[in-house]
Amino acid sequence: MSLFNVLALLMAFVCSVTAQTWTDCNPLNTTCPAAPALGTNHTWVFNETMDDKIWEVTNGQIDWKDTGAEFSIKKKLDSPTLQSKFFIFFGIVESHVKMAKGGGIVSSVVLQSADLDEIDWEWVGYNTSEVQSNYFGKGNDTSFSRGGFHYVENADTEFHNYTTYWTQEKLEWWIDGNLVRTLKPEDALDGKNYPQTPSNVRFGIWPAGDSKNAQGTIEWAGGEVNYDAGPYTMVVQNVRVHDFHTGKEYNYTDNSGSWESIQVVSGNSTTVEELNKEPSKSLAEKWAALPSAAKIGVYCGAAAAGLLLIAGGAFTLSDSARRDVLNTPSTTRNGTLNEMSRAACKPPGKQANGEIKVINR
């Protein structure tokens, strides 16, 4: 391995830990709430805002477009991030991604557990023909030789399939259907550094080359970020997540952090219930679902309302016309009654002596 790759591995490890490692509650140190399970296999197409009962934006803003979810750095320290509210206990995560191009910019797809097990895909923006793979166990940062480098053509302009296949026996990284790396527990400090606890899924982009970061981080990321040349955008087209267990949630039964200590609680997960929920109907769909009798009732009600409106309008018009006639000026310049107006006001055929004359038309 070249000196450059050795140094890059060192920096990749240090910087990835800094960027990705955080947890709300670490079950190695305290009793934590059970992790809600996915408990199924599902594909999400990221062309519209995601269900906030299943996914949450933990930082920044994501633009949902027809081509996918856009994670953009538009100004200093932007770092949009999306993560699942569900966890998987071993499984498959298949992401279709275009990395962001630009020195100092890092795009990432991460699986991470509450006790800081972690599985990574990372793209460093200055190199658009490479992706890095990495892993961590319980946040252990005592080794600098865990990263891998993998060739990908046009990673910034074309969507590629980056898949993680994860079981208790092995961890595999795949690119466009080709296996590029395999890790077994015995090769990860005899299993101690092997990721093995329920993890959620995270997508994000961050300015590792911001001038406020450590110099080593900036160098690993390819130099300082030129914010004036932005925006820098990572696009996630879709993701398939397959949880290898079915259940409601995952519970840590002790503080060991081993996969054997995880209890799979039976039942339907909240994510499965949300996915199976009947979508809200449009007005047209609601109308189509009405029985015939109900539709007739609606028609009759609408017709009656229409007649009332017409009648009210006619009454208003008649009253207005009557007022116009009464208020019409009726005198001429010499003050005598205008005979033409008087004649116009007489009923048709009425004579001055009060007799009715039949008019043949």
DSSP string for 88-137: BSSEEEEEEEEPPPSTT-EEEEEEEETT--EEEEEEETT-TTEEEEEEES
Tens digit of pLDDT for each residue in 18-34? Answer: 445 567 899 999 999 99
Tens digit of pLDDT for each residue in 82-115? Answer: 999 999 999 999 999 999 999 999 999 999 999 9
**Of 48, 70, 94, 122, catalytic:** 122
User: What are the structure tokens assigned to 280, written together?
Assistant: 């809200």
**Of 118, 130, 278, 339, catalytic:** 118
Residue type, 195: P
Taking every pair of Cα atoms in the chain, the longest distance, rounded to a whole number of angstroms, is 126
Which is more confidently placed, 336 or 123? 123
Give the mean pLDDT of the chain: 83
Region 186-195: what's the mean pLDDT?
95
Between CA 202 and CA 222 the distance in angstroms is 23
Q: Model-level pTM?
A: 0.74
Between CA 184 and CA 196 the distance in angstroms is 11
The DSSP secondary-structure symbol of 219 reads H
122 is catalytic: yes
Between CA 56 and CA 83 the distance in angstroms is 6
Helix (H, G, I), strand (E, B) or coil at 260: helix
The owner of tokens 């208790």 is: 168
User: What are the structure tokens assigned to 52, written together?
Assistant: 């906030």
If we measure between CA atoms, which residue out of 83, 115, 78, 357 comes closest to residue 233? 78
CA terminus-to-terminus distance, the chain: 114
Torsions phi, psi of 118, nearest 5? -155, 140
Q: How far is CA 75 from the centre of its chain?
A: 21
Name 161's bridge partners: 96
118 is catalytic: yes
Q: Given a cut of 70, is residue 172 above it in pLDDT? A: yes
